[in-house]
A and B are shown apart, each in its own frame.
Chain A
Amino acid sequence: MKYLTIDTTTKVTAVSLAEDGGLIAEGFLHTSKTHSERLIPMLDQLLVAASWTLQELEMIGVVRGPGSFTGIRIGIATAQGLAQVLKIPLTSVLSLDALAWAGLGRREDIVPILDARKNEWYTARYRWAKGQEKAECLTPPQAIPTDLWLEQLKGLDRPICFVGDATVKYKTRIEEVLGDNAVIMPEFVSLPRGAYAARAIWQHWQETGIGELVEPFYIRFSEAEVNWAKKEEARRRTEHE
């Protein structure tokens, strides 16, 4: 089965063409241009280079977050638009699940960290057991202050392998807290890649085998919603008094 994956949840535009879980072509751009400018031209180039046509695609997989809110929406709108016209199923995985594949086969716990600004990360924790087809998710996706998460990981007292776009900026801090238990993968492994999404999507497709309605996975509410909820809460409290 031939399929396309799109990951625009970070500053990297990552696209793959794959067949039955095997990577055929991969696009990776980490430039100053926007996803909007890069995405369709990259797809067009990959198709030409791989001598594939859009009409050969049988499924589209998109990474639906967490990550950049705008990036998530660009990826989903693009994947949806393509799937809608081509009349093929659409499916999705989480960015953190896809990044777990960067640590495939490693013995440490795999911890993807994505920059969530405000000194927080989008993160989760995975473990690859020997011979397993899929990483087990030990801590589900969350947005958490960086130092709080590092303290929690320190408490586990075991080696942790870090991947994700926040590894570069936070390398020193991670090593300060975790010492020898910290394994920080280099940037070319750490950043989202089409190859990871290709594997994660294939794994997910084998479990489901059916297209799905894909919605963004933000983890966070928008600031306006948070502030409104706070105000409502305060109002309710004063009413009770």
Chain B
Amino acid sequence: MGGVGKGSEGHAMSSQTNDIVILGIETSCDETSAAVLVNGTDLRSHVISSQIVTHQRYGGVVPEIASREHSLHIQPVVQQAMDAAKVGFEDLSAIAVTYGPGLVGSLLVGVSGAKAMAYAAGIPLIGINHLEAHIYANFLDHPKLEFPFLALLVSGGHTHLIYFAAHGQYQVLGHTRDDAAGEALDKVARTLGLGYPGGPQIQKIAMDGDAQAFKFPRAMLEPDSLDFSFSGMKSAVLNTLNSARMRGETLNVPDLAASFQQAVVDVLVGKALRALERTGAKTLLLAGGVAANNLLRETLDKELSERKVHFVYPPPIYCTDNGAMIAITGYYHYLAGDFAPWTLNAAPGLGLEGLV
């Protein structure tokens, strides 16, 4: 066993075969998930236990309840993933776990469980940045993706444009100055009475609406900026609703949803195109929960094929929080020998900036 104060760095590679087998664990928000990935390409199992139904009555994720749910589900979810992959802990090369950003109580359940498992199995622990993992989800179906590329990360908590020069070498070009895109969609959905989670609800009802019915502003900020701002756009929707209410009018909800969705997509696409022009990158990766939005995908697809830019996005299952994206990111960290000490703690406010 390891000596005093030593971290998980000291352990040797997995024994019997040369396969690199990574168990990935994700508990940063409201999904408890685990996946077993072999050699970075062969996803042997993927289990996701979602808490969406539990949180629905509260209109959003309640941190303490999320932590309680993770606590009950982490062990069975991991065991299911191991059983489905037909591997034992002795077959694993390393265990990768999200340590931030996210809800601190939820993160701690995953970090504590993963740490104990890795320590008991005598294998390295890998701490994963959840944001990086969303982007790396693209490598699951595209292992041969070439650098450099540009990544557009859009989720309930984050809106980032990031330039990747190589594995682990990246630079944040722009991020949101207020609300994240997904957050704005959630808030507007709530105001329109569409429920939680908001993004998918907006997308659904927007299909019956006219995206040109309302003219909401597109906040593009200064001409040279790659940052985002969604709170003004969100307020425009709320103001429109309020003034209609004062006049005693009811507005067409599908039209409102479609128009707002269109405005958000226009800004995201506009900024992505601006960043591509500036960096000369020939590949764009889409990532995060909002990457599952059809309008965003279709618009990017059209704009990027016109510009001969390679467009990659994950299937919906890898867009929301999941263990497979943790495992694939863990695989690349494993190749780089980037392991965590046994003192690894949750980092709820972890950003991408510190990793450049």
Residues of A participating in the B interface, judged by any CB pair closer than 8 Å: 34-41, 43-45, 47-48, 53-54, 69-70, 73-74, 76-82, 84-86, 215-216, 218, 222-225, 228
Contact = CB atoms under 8 A, between A and B. Distances in A.
Contact of A53 (B1, B3, B72, B113): B1
Contact of A48 (B4, B70, B111, B112): B4
Contacts of B105: 69-70, 73
Contact of B115 (A34, A45, A81): A81
13 contacts: A36-B346, A38-B343, A40-B342, A44-B1, A48-B3, A70-B105, A80-B75, A81-B120, A82-B116, A84-B75, A84-B89, A84-B117, A215-B72
B1 A36 contact: no
Contacts of B65: 222, 224-225
Contact of B116 (A37, A81, A216): A81
B47 interface: no
Contacts of A74: 108-109, 112
B5 interface: yes
Nearest to B125: A40
B272 interface: no
Contact of B1 (A37, A47, A216): A47
A37 B345 contact: yes
Given A36-B343, A40-B342, A82-B119, 6 more contacts: A36-B344, A78-B115, A81-B115, A84-B78, A215-B71, A216-B68
Contacts of A78: 112-113, 115-116
A40 B104 CA distance: 19
A78 B109 CA distance: 8
Contacts of A222: 62, 64-65, 68
A70 B108 contact: yes
B2 interface: yes
A81 B114 contact: yes
B120 A36 contact: no
A86 B90 CA distance: 10
B1 A54 contact: yes
Contacts of A69: 64, 67-68, 105
Contacts of A36: 108, 111-112, 115, 343-346
Main secondary structure of the interface of A (DSSP, over half): helix
A77 B105 CA distance: 12
A44 B71 contact: no
B117 A85 contact: yes
Nearest to B2: A44
Contacts of A85: 89, 116-117, 120-121
Contact of B342 (A35, A44, A215): A44
Contacts of B112: 35-36, 39, 73-74, 77-78, 81
Contacts of B4: 44-45, 48
Interface string B341-355: 011111000000000
Nearest to B105: A70
Nearest to A214: B75
B64 A223 contact: yes
B5 A41 contact: yes
Contacts of A81: 75, 112-117, 120
A37 B64 contact: no
A37 B108 contact: no
A218 to B, nearest CB: 8
A34 B345 contact: yes
A185 to B, nearest CB: 30
Contacts of B120: 54, 81-82, 84-86
B57 interface: yes
A53 B119 CA distance: 12
Interface in B66-101: 67-68, 70-72, 74-75, 78-79, 89
A64 B64 CA distance: 16
A80 B113 contact: yes
A217 B115 CA distance: 22
B74 A77 contact: yes
Given A34-B345, A74-B108, A84-B79, A224 B58 contact: yes
B119 A40 contact: yes
A93 B104 CA distance: 26
A98 to B, nearest CB: 20
Nearest to A72: B71
B74 to A, nearest CB: 6
Contacts of B114: 81
Contacts of B71: 73, 76-77, 215-216
A70 B58 contact: no
B57 A228 contact: yes
Nearest to B343: A37
A117 to B, nearest CB: 13
Contacts of B79: 84
A154 to B, nearest CB: 34
Nearest to B78: A84
A77 B116 contact: yes
A36 B75 CA distance: 18
Nearest to B65: A222
Interface string B302-322: 000000000000000000000
* B67, B79, B111, B112: residue with the most chain A Cβ atoms closer than 10 Å: B112
Contacts of A39: 112
Contacts of B62: 222, 224
A41 B111 CA distance: 14
Per CB-CB distance, the 5 closest pairs between chain A and chain B, nearest first, are: A81-B116, A85-B120, A77-B112, A222-B64, A77-B113
